[in-house]
Amino acid sequence: MRWIAAAIFFGCIVIAGGLYLGLRRAPSPQPRPATPRMPVVARATAPAEIEAALRAQQPALAAACWPTRAGPPASYTYDLTIDPHGHEIARGISESRDAQRAGVVDCLRGRWTKLTVPPPGVVVRVSVTLSFP
């Protein structure tokens, strides 16, 4: 029994010494290379470009998702976030509670293609309201 306890004790000392020496000689972190900065485009133009890209899709979305006898016009608000490189990173579609149409929002979400616009250089969030039909 004594030998087992001594072997465990000796093993712990070997492991602790190895950890101490190994961690002590850890390589210093290398400096990261500088990330290239995106040119900052006039921020006033980015929301207009995003809205124009969304409105360009409106006729196809209306033809695919708006039923011919859906009743009075309804508005849908698109909430989009574009990253500094011009790619869509988040979106949401909402409709007013008093003008809901069954299945239209699901159809709009299903037929949506991700927007790509000229790089704005910063994260841009835009809300655009589209009316159908």
pLDDT along the chain (133 residues), means of 10: 82 83 67 63 73 88 75 84 88 81 81 82 87 78
Residues 114 and 54: their CA atoms lie apart, in Å, by 10
Q: How many CB atoms lie within 10 A of CB 68?
A: 5
What are the strands, taking DSSP E only, across the chain? 74-82, 88-95, 124-132
- What one-letter code names the amino acid at 85? H
pLDDT of residue 32: 72
